[in-house]
């Protein structure tokens, strides 16, 4: 069974209808990229999946459970759905390690002894082990984005949502960050939904491609098939 099923989701802002009849499945361990022109509704869809936006109709099923839009249910769900944004939102007065540990220790109340080895492994995987005591201002954009990814992963979510995480990065950093996302998906069997404009890299990391235009799904296609066409 899929980890996430979106069924006939509809979203509007006041009178403006943004998302129309959105239905798709996401299997555990898959990387799905969400492509489409600017303004097609990609960010809005991610925010609906993360409970940041309410929607007017349709259902979400996550890990076999139908999600109503009750606040209490979303509180639990947010622990299982991590999100990384274009802006890194790291606390400037805390070190890299402190930024990452905050969620697992304060929010999830896990012990430092269990979390620290996991975090160190993640830092090593993204090539940032030597920066654990650095402050965000000492890092490049690509490095900050890797830390933001580690921070989200440290919460051990079952699903990760990435919203244009490479949009403010230099081209060489884009490759780095997307390669890291694919590696993390493979080594941790993570399920990932990635919004990006980078077609080259979407091609390299996607198991499935969802193409959105004017708030409608035009197609859901296996990655290799999507990119093989002329
Ligand atoms: P994308 O991420 O594909 O660029 P968005 O989801 O950001 O698209 O936006 C889709 C459409 O929804 C756009 O027309 C945008 O102007 C509109 N929109 C986004 N957020 C809001 C909002 N808070 N209120 C009204 N319209 C919005
Ligand atoms: P993105 O770069 O992700 O597409 P935008 O620049 O379109 O984002 O939007 C930035 C913020 O403004 C978002 O929080 C979005 O919800 C909000 N927004 C976008 N379009 C509108 C709109 N037409 N009316 C109100 N808010 C909007």
Which bound ligand lies closest to the C-alpha atom of 38? 1
Give the integer Cα–Cα distance in Å for 214 and 15.
15
Give per-residue pLDDT as tens, 166-186. 887 788 778 888 888 888 888
Which bound ligand lies closest to the C-alpha atom of 196? 1
23 CA from centroid of ligand 1 (Å): 19
Best residue for ligand 1 mutational test, from 9, 11, 12, 13 (most atoms within 8 Å of Cβ): 13
Closest atom of ligand 1 relative to the 37 alpha carbon: 3
Give the integer Cα–Cα distance in Å for 67 and 50.
11
Dihedral (CA of 197, 209, 174, 91) sign? positive
Nearest CA to ligand 1 atom 6: 41
Average pLDDT over residues 89-109: 94
Average pLDDT over residues 97-110: 94
Closest atom of ligand 1 relative to the 53 alpha carbon: 23
Residue 49: what pLDDT? 93
Best residue for ligand 1 mutational test, from 41, 42, 212, 218 (most atoms within 8 Å of Cβ): 41
Dihedral (CA of 97, 78, 206, 202) sign? negative
Which bound ligand lies closest to the C-alpha atom of 15? 1
Average pLDDT over residues 32-41: 94
Q: Where residue 230 falls among pLDDT bands split at 50, 70, 90?
A: low
Give the integer Cα–Cα distance in Å for 105 and 112.
7
44 CA from centroid of ligand 1 (Å): 6
Which bound ligand lies closest to the C-alpha atom of 18? 1
Give the integer Cα–Cα distance in Å for 74 and 67.
8
Give per-residue pLDDT as tens, 133-145. 999 999 998 899 9
Ligand 1: list residues with CB < 6 Å. 13, 16, 18, 36, 38-44
Give the integer Cα–Cα distance in Å for 167 and 172.
12
197 CA from centroid of ligand 2 (Å): 17
Note the ipTM here.
0.66
Closest atom of ligand 1 relative to the 195 alpha carbon: 2
Give per-residue pLDDT as tens, 111-135. 999 999 999 999 998 899 999 999 9
The full DSSP string for the chain is --SEEEEEEEEEETTEEEEEEEEEEE-TT-EEEEE--TTSSHHHHHHHHTTSS--SEEEEEETTEEE---HHHHHHHHTTEEEE-SS----TTS-HHHHHHHIIIIIS---HHHHHHHHHHHHHHTT-GGGTT--GGGS-HHHHHHHHHHHHHTT--SEEEEESTTTTS-HHHHHHHHHHHHHHHHHHT-EEEEE-S-HHHHHHH-SEEEEEETTEEEEEEEHHHHHH--
Q: Where residue 60 falls among pLDDT bands split at 50, 70, 90?
A: very high
């Amino acid at each position: 069974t899929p980890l996430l099923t979106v069924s006939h989701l509809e979203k509007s802002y006041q009178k403006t209808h943004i998302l129309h009849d959105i239905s798709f499945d996401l299997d555990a361990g898959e990387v799905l990229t969400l492509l489409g022109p600017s303004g097609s509704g990609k960010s809005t869809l991610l925010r609906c999946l993360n409970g940041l936006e309410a929607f007017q109709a349709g259902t979400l099923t996550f890990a076999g459970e139908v999600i109503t839009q009750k606040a209490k249910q979303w509180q639990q769900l947010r622990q299982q759905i991590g999100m990384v944004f274009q802006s890194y939102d790291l606390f400037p007065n805390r070190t890299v390690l402190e930024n990452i540990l905050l969620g697992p220790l304060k929010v999830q109340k896990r012990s430092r002894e269990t979390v620290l080895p996991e975090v160190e492994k993640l830092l090593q995987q993204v090539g940032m082990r030597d920066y654990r005591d650095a402050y965000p201002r000492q890092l490049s954009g690509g490095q900050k984005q890797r830390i933001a990814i580690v921070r989200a992963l440290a919460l051990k979510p079952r699903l990760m949502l990435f919203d244009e995480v490479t949009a403010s990065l230099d081209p060489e950093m884009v490759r780095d960050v997307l390669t890291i996302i694919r590696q993390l998906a493979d080594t941790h069997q993570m399920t990932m939904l990635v919004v990006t404009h980078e077609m080259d890299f979407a091609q390299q990391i996607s198991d499935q491609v969802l193409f959105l235009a004017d708030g409608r799904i035009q197609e859901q296609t296996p990655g290799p098939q999507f990119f093989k066409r002329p």
